[in-house]
Amino acid sequence: MSKMKAPMRLHHTAYVTKDLEATRAFYEDLIGLPLVATWSETDELFGAERVYCHTFFGLPDGSALAFFQFANKVDQDLFDPELTPSPFRHIALNVTKDAQDEIFERLTKAAWKPEGTYVLEHGYCRSMYTEDPNGMLLEFTCDAPGAEKINEERRKDAHEVLKRWLAGDHTSNNTYR
């Protein structure tokens, strides 16, 4: 059996924002992701001419977080419906412990949503959470020491644990907390 070709890395993940400048200030000035491209565009999309701006904030591996803002309120409302916030719908960015601490310090100094910034110890990683200007949950994840070994263990039993869980056995396999 030949090896299946697969994507090499994330290129970008895209979201809609109501305020590109607030989004830029947050991701560039507080989080440290540089604005690497801005596209001002007009396209025939989904049966109408749409005028929008598309920005990219670069990550060191070449991937990016991208955000759209539409010039026309009707388009903005159409493509940016109000979603019920959920902690299970979020962006997770991998960081070192030092970077996680620095980002936390910058957010604290800026008084950025102090009631909504918190840390969870997952055992296999330590995650700091906050919201971006769009109300989207953002996670900064620092892998635990020995993450390579932990990841290898999970790769070995990923299918088996999924099959077991789907069959109704919901026993936790997180022994790292």
Q: Residue 84's pLDDT is what?
A: 66
Q: Are 74 and 88 spatial neighbours (Cβ–Cβ below 8 Å)? A: no
Percentage above 70 pLDDT, the chain: 97
Q: 65-96, pLDDT tens digit by residue?
A: 999 999 999 999 998 877 666 777 889 999 99
Separation in Å, CA 60 to CA 11, 36, 94, 158, 169: 12, 11, 11, 28, 40
For residue 116, what pLDDT band results from cuts at 50, 70 and 90? confident
Q: 17-49, pLDDT tens digit by residue?
A: 999 999 999 999 999 999 999 999 998 988 999
Please state the pTM of the whole predicted model.
Answer: 0.82
Q: Please, what are the domains in the chain? A: 7-81 (3.10.180.10), 89-169 (3.30.720.110)
